[in-house]
Amino acid sequence: QPVLTQPPSVSAAPGQTVTISCSGSSSTIGNNYVSWHQQLPGTAPKLLIYENNKRPSGIPDRFSGSKSGTSATLGITGLQTGDEADYYCGTWDSSLSAFVFGTGTKVTVL
């Protein structure tokens, strides 16, 4: 079974807000920091959020991250057609001594 679980898909109209959940455990999210990546169709992933809620330079503040207990959330406000992509959470797994990615969530702009 996956170590980090995400909903397969979320959707909303342009301008609306979506949230994507990432559920883990004490050995993953519970005791480590979470990052989020965006993967546009046919391209390599791109870092959106690191250390739970920090944005690299160039990432708009429409994207935000948070963490509570063994779950993390990515929020996207003011949804745009260009936000249609797959989104992955990731964190270190202290039990496996390995990095793990979430199952991925496809965002569709209606």
Please report whether residue 90 would count as binding another protein according to CB under 8 A: yes
What's the distance, CA 62 to chain centroid? 13
Residue 3: name the closest of 28, 38, 20, 21 by CA: 28
Q: Which listed range, 16-24, 32-40, 69-77, lies at the site for another protein (CB under 8 A)? A: 32-40
Count of residues that interact with another protein, criterion CB under 8 A:
27
**3-state SS class at 106:** strand
Instruction: Give the number of other Cβ atoms within 10 Å of residue 70's Cβ.
Output: 16
Please report whether residue 68 would count as binding another protein according to CB under 8 A: no
Please report whether residue 50 would count as binding another protein according to CB under 8 A: yes
Q: Which of 23, 37, 73, 74 binds another protein (CB under 8 A)?
A: 37
Residue 87: name the closest of 14, 6, 27 by CA: 6
Give the footprint of another protein on this chain (CB under 8 A). 31-33, 35, 37, 39, 44-47, 50-51, 56, 88, 90-92, 94, 96-104
